[in-house]
């Protein structure tokens, strides 16, 4: 099996000016594409070649000799998940079920926004901030580089990419402004709710 770059779920201009078309075209068309190309080259003619992306990630996680496969496979997964965590009609409030879980587990929507922003800002260097289900409860986490909830028995609901390539053209060093704009204008609660259903909550 050869992996292909999934198309963005919206036009490249759809998130402007929060995320410019130029950023999306580089981030999706160059960065995400490169992870797909690298992964295909690394697994070609190996026992991993006919496996799903998730199966590959789980098999090579923690194996230092397969770090290149892990990094590229996880980044393919992370980016596809990130594009879906954004929507031009984002922001606002989640639906009742997710909102009540945020109140139960995370201290309410305002506290969620504050803590999610803090996780995203405090990730030193490249990485990701996440809303996940961990042991039946919502949690906010952050991961470095390509790491992801799948390797920690957690179900991802939402993510933000805080690698510099995600925001540098539009925000330069102002990661906090990028994260705030994501929360205010792009966060895709419907996607999180669909993932919550899959997690059986």
Residue nearest to Mn ion (CB): 161
170 binds Mn ion (CB under 5 A): no
81: contact with Mn ion by CB under 5 A: no
CA distance 181 to 128: 16
163 is an interface residue for Mn ion by CB under 5 A: yes
According to CB under 5 A, which one of 60, 161, 162, 187 is a site residue for Mn ion? 161
When the beta carbons of 116 and 163 are compared against Mn ion, the nearer one is: 163
Residues 170 and 71 sit within 8 Å (Cβ to Cβ) = no
Task: Give, in order, the Cα–Cα distances in Å from 167 to each of 126, 137, 170, 173, 175.
Answer: 12, 30, 6, 8, 7
Q: Which of 125-133, 134-142, 159-167, 180-188 is the region at the interface with Mn ion (rule: CB under 5 A)? A: 159-167
Please state, in angstroms and as integers, the Cα–Cα distance from residue 169 to each residue in 10, 24, 26, 195, following that order: 20, 10, 10, 30
Q: Name which of 161 and 170 has its Cβ closer to Mn ion.
A: 161
**Which residues would be at the binding site for Mn ion (CB under 5 A)?**
161, 163
């Amino acid at each position: 099996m050869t992996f292909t770059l999934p198309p963005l779920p919206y036009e490249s201009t759809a998130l402007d000016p929060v995320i410019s078309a130029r950023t999306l075209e580089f981030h999706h068309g160059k960065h995400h594409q490169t992870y797909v190309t690298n992964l295909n080259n690394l697994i070609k003619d190996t026992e991993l070649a006919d496996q799903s992306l998730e199966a590959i990630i789980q098999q090579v996680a923690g194996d230092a000799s397969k770090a290149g496969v892990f990094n590229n496979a996880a980044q393919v997964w992370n980016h596809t998940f990130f594009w879906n965590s954004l929507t031009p009609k984002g922001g606002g409030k989640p639906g009742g079920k997710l909102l009540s879980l945020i109140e139960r587990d995370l201290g309410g929507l305002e506290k969620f926004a504050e803590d999610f922003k803090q996780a995203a800002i405090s990730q030193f260097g490249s990485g990701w901030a996440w809303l996940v289900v961990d042991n039946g409860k919502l949690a906010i986490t952050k991961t470095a580089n390509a790491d992801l909830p799948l390797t920690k028995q957690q179900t991802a609901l939402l993510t933000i990419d805080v690698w510099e390539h995600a925001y540098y053209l539009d925000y330069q060093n102002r990661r906090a402004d990028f994260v705030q704009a994501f929360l205010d204008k792009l966060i895709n609660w419907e996607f999180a709710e669909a993932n919550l259903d899959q997690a059986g909550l």
